[in-house]
Amino acid sequence: MSKRRTKHELDERIQIVRQVLDKRKTIGATAKKHGVDERTLKSWIRKYQADGVDGL
C-alpha cells in the first residue's frame, strides 16, 4: 500500500480547515489561496469533522 505525499504539513492543513469552519471563508477561495484542490479541502473538512486532528 502506498502513502500519498502532500506538500501541506499537518498544522497547515488544520489551519486551512479552520479558516473555512471558523472564519466562514468559502471552500473555493480558501482552496485557491492555498493551492489545494477543492475536492481535497472538502475531504480534509469531512475527516476533521469526523475524527478531529487524527483524521488529518
pLDDT, tens digit, for every residue of 4-20?
Answer: 556 779 999 999 999 99
Nearest to 46 by CA among 23, 13, 2: 13
CA 11 to chain centre: 10
Positive or negative: CA dihedral 4, 8, 9, 12: negative
- Per-residue pLDDT of 13-53, as tens digits, reads 999 999 999 988 899 999 999 999 999 999 999 999 999 99
Query: Which amino acid is present at 31?
Result: A
Domain coordinates of the chain in residue numbers?
A: 10-55
